[in-house]
């Protein structure tokens, strides 16, 4: 499996058999220019959308993909996808609505994208997610969980690999924290290219990979 960070919460995940999944694609220029990442031009077979906010729900994606916008379990091109319904805030959705955590079984690994998770996880939600190999987690705070809550989620889920997302960069003008708050005091692996992961290469202890956005 290869992972390419497109920006914000958008990743291109390519399975060993060539199936391409794009997660939470953003609309360039949305929110009055708050998102400055370039248009996503990569093709996809599957697009997951955790919630209907413009920095996560672009539908102009090349490749005639199948869009997944609900938590219903399904299989698309041999990729098993299911979801856990959660919230975008700590008020059960009263502030920012709902959010879907997506589980995807890719190359025998459980890949989990938390979308814009806005709260710590309940016991029921943790059980719904199950064992995690690769976790995509928001860390910027304000609109999502912050670095402190992200730490709690990671300790609970015990993923093999952690990939932070939804943090402030030169191309994201949102009032959220940069990656520094999350990585402070941690040993991290910085990746300026695609990350390649196999079931056999998963680390024994939780490892944080910080990917550079390509857009």
List, for residues 143-185, the tens digit of each pLDDT value: 999 999 999 999 999 999 999 999 999 999 999 999 999 998 8
- Calpha distance 207→4 (Å, rounded): 17
Nearest to 147 by CA among 181, 186, 113: 181
- Calpha distance 88→95 (Å, rounded): 8
Q: What is the mean pLDDT of residues 14-20?
A: 97
The CATH number for 104's domain is 3.60.15.10
Residue 77 has what pLDDT? Answer: 96
Q: Which residues contact 78 (CB under 8 A, 6 or more apart)?
A: 17, 19
- Calpha distance 62→166 (Å, rounded): 23
Residue 97 has what pLDDT? Answer: 86
Residue 140 has what pLDDT? Answer: 94
Positive/negative CA dihedral, 106, 189, 179, 40 = negative
Residue listed under structure tokens 């979308």: 115
- pLDDT classification of 193: cutoffs 50, 70, 90: confident
Residues 72, 74, 79: CA angle, nearest 5 degrees: 135
Report the 10 Å Cβ neighbour count for 23: 26
Residue 167 has what pLDDT? Answer: 96
Contact, 112 vs 175, CB < 8 A? no
Residue 192 has what pLDDT? Answer: 86
Give percent of the chain with pLDDT exceeding 90. 88
pLDDT over threshold 90, residue 92: no
- pLDDT classification of 91: cutoffs 50, 70, 90: confident
Whole domain around residue 54: which residue ranges? 2-211
Contact, 106 vs 15, CB < 8 A? yes
- pLDDT classification of 89: cutoffs 50, 70, 90: confident
Nearest to 15 by CA among 167, 180, 198: 198
For the chain, the domain total comes to: 1
């Amino acid at each position: 499996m290869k992972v390419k960070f497109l920006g914000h919460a958008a990743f291109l995940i390519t399975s060993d058999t060539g199936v391409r999944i794009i997660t939470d694609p953003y609309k360039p220029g949305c929110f009055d220019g708050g998102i400055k990442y370039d248009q996503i031009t990569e093709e996809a077979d599957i697009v997951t959308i955790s919630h209907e906010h413009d920095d996560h729900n672009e539908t102009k994606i090349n490749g005639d993909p199948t869009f997944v916008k609900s938590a219903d379990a399904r299989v698309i091109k041999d990729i098993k996808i299911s979801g856990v319904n959660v919230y975008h805030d700590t008020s059960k959705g009263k502030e920012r609505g709902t959010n879907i955590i997506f589980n995807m079984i890719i190359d025998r690994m459980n890949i989990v994208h938390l979308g814009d998770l806005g709260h710590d996880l309940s016991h029921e939600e943790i059980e719904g997610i199950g064992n995690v190999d690769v976790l995509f987690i928001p860390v910027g705070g304000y609109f999502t969980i912050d670095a402190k809550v992200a730490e709690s989620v990671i300790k609970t889920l015990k993923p093999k690999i952690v990939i932070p997302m939804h943090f402030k960069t030169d191309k994201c003008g949102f009032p959220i924290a940069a990656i520094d708050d999350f990585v402070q005091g941690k040993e991290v692996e910085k990746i300026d290219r695609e990350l390649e992961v196999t079931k056999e290469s998963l680390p024994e202890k939780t490892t944080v990979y910080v990917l550079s956005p390509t857009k």
